[in-house]
Amino acid sequence: MRLILTALIATTALAGAAQADVLRDKALEYFAPLPSTVPAVKGNRITPEKIELGKALFFDPRLSASGVFSCYSCHNLTTGGDDNMETSVGHGWQKGPRNSPTVLNAVLNEAQFWDGRAEDLKAQAKGPVQAGVEMANTPEQVERTLRSMPQYVEWFSGAFPDEAEPTNFDNMAMAIEAFEATLITPAPFDAFLNGDDEALTAEQRAGLELFIDKGCSTCHSGVNVGGHGYYPFGLIEKPGADILPEGDKGRFAVTATVDDEYVFRAAPLRNVGVTAPYFHSGKVWDLKTAVTIMAESQLGETMTDEEVGHVVAFLDSLTGTMPTVTTPVLPPETASTPRPTAEVKVD
Amino acid sequence: MRLILTALIATTALAGAAQADVLRDKALEYFAPLPSTVPAVKGNRITPEKIELGKALFFDPRLSASGVFSCYSCHNLTTGGDDNMETSVGHGWQKGPRNSPTVLNAVLNEAQFWDGRAEDLKAQAKGPVQAGVEMANTPEQVERTLRSMPQYVEWFSGAFPDEAEPTNFDNMAMAIEAFEATLITPAPFDAFLNGDDEALTAEQRAGLELFIDKGCSTCHSGVNVGGHGYYPFGLIEKPGADILPEGDKGRFAVTATVDDEYVFRAAPLRNVGVTAPYFHSGKVWDLKTAVTIMAESQLGETMTDEEVGHVVAFLDSLTGTMPTVTTPVLPPETASTPRPTAEVKVD
């Protein structure tokens, strides 16, 4: 009897391993594991000096006019690389128009922002610094601020050694991109793709299977399980204005093409389990609800509660391990550092 | 000739060492070096579990009603443990009444806040969380928030193992105090007090001598070079309303004693060189100006530019080394976590 049982367990285990292999092969047609080294970035050679400078800048609230907000404020590294708000609060307590996306693994997205209007993170980084509802600063003021602190000037020289005047707004963005490129969070899903059968639970594997078979992976694919490609929100059935506000026409604002009305970049789904609320509007807090809405609006599918549960279990396997980040020690202001102002300018 | 010179240098060095010893002995009558271990805190045994929980809470913006502010926001560990503003900006873009003091070494202050109204950091930590112009939250809402996240409940149980319902507002404050007790920043001045003659430059030693001889150390003494004892701002000569706003009567609000009008706790001066702007009003950005004002208002002394320069050089020797702080990974919200609200309640 014991022999038969052992043989049965061995057979089941073998069958399980074979099933895992089949699922892994299928998954590798859509997805790729995270790289084990800092990704190379087009037009920006990543060096330790740039990363360190970029970390300082990422944490520095003096990049904002008020001195209240840094990149870290809305891309909080303690809470999944985003804030936990519908849309972010910025200068003068103004509400931003869209939900803050996570900075984690963002370097691997095809383009940045919900509408893909920035080609990469060095282009993206310049946006919030200047946006009136976010950091409300100007490139000139940022440069005055950075140049007023000898330590920053030294760091910029070290990070951009071949430049005559390296302490500038463009290089600020390059350095921030370099730091952000280090924010890679390997997850159980990567371990599974890399060959570890046990990295996903049976429910998570079932969820992965559903995620592919139902068609989610048509858009949410690649190394970031999304983050590339543009699709109308409401491809099959347009959600209500409570979720898809009519005033925000998405990529239409970038391309001015009617076809791009309500078109957004497919959201990258790494760490989605810890980055509620969801969608560009930030109107949905529950991941099960978000999955249900996606299935209906994008696939015309009504998923059972059980199916949704499986998919959410799979999505939780995308929650990765944060890299260790130590808080930087920033240069102190000097007499010539512009003073912060909470004043809200009305154009 | 060479022999004579060597003898001369040796004599001078000896004389220098002897002078340093005299100055050190004199300084040790007023000051004490930072302890080499985490200070014991009255009524709060510091454990690794409490420190880790406290670090998470210190960084968690969900302690505020809006989800925008954490302890870290105004006590920013990247910029000397304070913000860099006249007075902090809080809930609804309201300006706080007083300059944010540094959290670094604050555990060694006799009492907390500019007017000493909190006995210790566990009492202090409850203030900003509830202040309408700061985090605008309530103890009940904080407890609902923390109890909604199983990871927090587990951490509280680990940090307060003997309690039936450890996840509560009081323990939040205890844990934050425990983390803050680790924020100790040994400085060149400590190395000097501990016996290293070379830790201070000749100018810094001259500044230290002046700091004692002019009488600054009468109030700014002890391990934190201040942070205990209450004195009227304007003991000899009251500064103008631009620096000492008439509406803020300091400790009078705590004791309702006429003698306490415009009385404040002597500011602790560790890291003063990196925590501009100065005074409870935050009206002075330049440390030389601040020293000049202090000399006039508190001592009735007019210091020369050279003297002020020496004192500032000494004060710079109080800028210490930050402990290494890694950003925590906070528990994700759940369905029952109260949602952030940017709404400003009008009482």
CB-CB under 8 Å, A60 with B78: yes
| Interface-testing mutation among A102, A179, A324, A327, with chain B (most B C-beta atoms within 10 A) | A327
Tell me what pLDDT residue A70 has. 98
For chain A, give the percent of residues with pLDDT over 90: 89
- DSSP, collapsed to helix, strand or coil, labels residue A134 as coil
- Contact between A327 and B77 under an 8 Å Cβ cutoff? The reply is yes
Binding-site residues of A for heme c: 71, 74-75, 91, 216, 219-220, 294
Distance between CA atoms of B282 and B275, rounded to whole angstroms?
10
ipTM value greater than 0.90: yes
Find the closest chain B residue to A55 by CA distance.
Answer: B78
The residues, ordered by sequence, that sit 6+ positions from B188 with a Cβ below 8 Å of its Cβ are B199, B200, B204, B317, B319
pTM to 2 decimals? 0.94
CATH homologous superfamily for the domain B48-181: Cytochrome c-like domain (1.10.760.10)
- When the candidates are 3.40.718.10, 2.40.50.100, 1.10.760.10, 3.30.465.10, the CATH number that belongs to A22-36+185-318 is 1.10.760.10
* Res A15 pLDDT > 90: no
Domain boundaries, chain B: 22-36+185-318, 48-181
How far does B19 lie from chain A, in Å, by closest CA?
32
Give me the catalytic one of B110, B119, B134, B301. Answer: B134
* Res B3 pLDDT > 70: no
Q: Which of residues 90-149 of B touch A (CB under 8 A)?
A: 92-93, 95
B220 belongs to an annotated ligand binding site: yes
Fold match between domain A22-36+185-318 and domain A48-181: yes
B30-54 pLDDT, tens digit each? 999 999 999 999 999 999 999 999 9
Nearest CB to B342: which of A76, A95, A339? A95
Distance between CA atoms of B167 and B157, rounded to whole angstroms?
7
CB-CB under 8 Å, A80 with B61: no
Mean predicted lDDT score pLDDT of chain A = 94
Determine whether A329 is exposed, middle or buried from the number of CB atoms within 10 Å of its CB (0-12, 13-18, 19+): middle
Q: Is B52 on the interface with A (CB under 8 A)?
A: no
Find the closest chain A residue to B59 by CA distance.
Answer: A78
Tell me what pLDDT residue B10 has. 60
B310 belongs to an annotated ligand binding site: no
**Could you report how far apart the first and last alpha carbons of chain A are, in Å?**
84
A102-154 pLDDT, tens digit each? 999 999 999 899 988 899 999 999 999 999 999 999 999 999 999 999 999 99
Token pair for A255: 């391309």
Is B110 assigned a catalytic role?
Answer: no
Tell me what pLDDT residue A347 has. 60
B218-262 pLDDT, tens digit each? 999 999 999 999 999 999 999 999 999 989 999 989 999 999 999
Nearest CB to A322: which of B62, B329, B344? B329
Find the closest chain A residue to B333 by CA distance.
Answer: A274
Q: Report how many Cβ contacts below 8 Å link chain A to chain B.
A: 100
| Interface-testing mutation among B59, B70, B78, with chain A (most A C-beta atoms within 10 A) | B78
